[in-house]
Amino acid sequence: MSRPHFQNKLLALVPPAELELLYPLLEPIDLPKGFAIATAGEPIQYVYFLEQGLGSIVSVSRQGQKAEAGMFGYEGFAPTPPAVRSTMSFHDASLQAEGYGYRITIEALWAAMDRCPEFSRLLARSSQNLATQVSYTALSNAVHQVNERLARWLLMSHDRLRQDEFLITHDYMALILAVRRPSVTTALHVLEERRFIRAERGCVTIRNRSAMEHYAQDAYGLPEEEYRHLFP
């Protein structure tokens, strides 16, 4: 079998012998914006490996209050519960920026994990890194200003989208950061005034990433450091 070129970091790291077993179980799939990959309170049927696109994992309270808990793109997989044989989702997960990738049924995933130890380890490391990301989002929500949280979120999205321009409304960023929409608009002005970004209607463009990283330095970088440690 000639090895397909994967953009997904986990699939790219699966050793050839394991890939031979895994690859026939993967189904290529287009992932339009808004595509639901898991729904809170419902059973999980598939696990997705993005090649391109950006997914958002949202916590939903019993009364329907929402905030983004984490994000994923080509660096990981989602939803993560099946990696520990859990089949129930406690989060909404959907595509925030369209893309494509592969999916696998959870039964096939488990069969593959039984026979592919390195693949299983890759899933475990990726789940660990998502947990770290979520824990630092919790820290940031508790201690950082909306401006810094927005900068952090833009940097994390930029890492995963690998493009400077993203189509996103202020409404959606408000949901993600769990703040009112005018607060997002105000924070975007602050970042724009410092020339880190350009904010237009429905679109944000990164102009100076390194300056924005410096600005968000207390809020950004540690989960990314762990990722580099886990996937050298």
Q: Which of residues 93-132 bind other proteins (CB under 8 A)?
A: none
Q: Which of residues 185-204 bind other proteins (CB under 8 A)?
A: 185-186, 189, 193, 199-202
Identity at 89, one-letter amino acid code: S
**Does residue 205 touch other proteins according to CB under 8 A?**
no
**Does residue 217 touch other proteins according to CB under 8 A?**
no
User: How far is it between the farthest Cα atoms of the chain?
Assistant: 54
What's the min distance (Å) between Cβ of 36 and other proteins?
24
Q: Which of 126, 103, 122, 101 is nearest to 51 (CA)?
A: 101
d(CA 9, CA 218): 27
Residues linked to residue 215 through DSSP beta bridges, in sequence order: none
The edge-to-edge listing of strands for the beta sheet with 197-200 is 165-167, 203-206, 197-200
Coil/strand/helix, residue 85? coil
**Does residue 151 touch other proteins according to CB under 8 A?**
no
**Does residue 176 touch other proteins according to CB under 8 A?**
no
Q: Which helix (H) or strand (E) holds 89?
A: none
What's the min distance (Å) between Cβ of 147 and other proteins?
8
**Does residue 170 touch other proteins according to CB under 8 A?**
yes
Number of residues located near other proteins, criterion CB under 8 A: 19
What's the min distance (Å) between Cβ of 43 and other proteins?
35
Residues linked to residue 126 through DSSP beta bridges, in sequence order: none
Interface contacts to other proteins, rule CB under 8 A: 145-147, 169-171, 179-183, 185-186, 189, 193, 199-202
